[in-house]
Amino acid sequence: MAFLNALDTVGSALTAERFRTNIITQNIANQLTVGANGEDPYRRKQVIFQTRPQTFSEALDSVSGGGVRVTRVVESQEDFKPVYDPTHPEADEDGYVYYPNVNNTEEQLDLMEATRVYEANISALSVVKAMASKALEIGR
């Protein structure tokens, strides 16, 4: 069932990219969230992908396809962005407010990349569907 393996592979990529898009939009939404009551502000999150493991026997038996999976979400350890604003309610004793380590331009580029990868996988899914449809037509 090679078609099912292809669907499984494309499906895993679509799921992973959708999750990545959710994390990116979470970063964008929290780019101005400062820490309250002395807490750290929001930290940028990044998604780590990994190839789904497939043993040699699984590949021979066509039990499952390859694909990708999200292994973890890590928080960026970059420094927060200090902004001098002594009138801000969350300013420290020196008058600085610390904003998240989220770079909007970088997030927008990551979002565009995730969107393009998602679209490429949708195209691959369309090809697999067309192949399956043609295979069914041959049997008629």
Query: Mutual orientation of helices 104-138 and 2-29 as an angle, nearest 10°?
Result: 160
Identity at 125, one-letter amino acid code: L
Please report the pLDDT score of residue 132 as a whole number: 82
Beta strand pairing call for 68-75 and 96-99: unpaired
Please report the pLDDT score of residue 64 as a whole number: 57
Please report the pLDDT score of residue 102 as a whole number: 95
Intervals of the chain under pLDDT 50: none
The mean pLDDT of the chain is 87
Token pair recorded at residue 92: 């420290």
Please report the pLDDT score of residue 54 as a whole number: 65
Token pair recorded at residue 74: 């890590």
Please report the pLDDT score of residue 87 as a whole number: 94
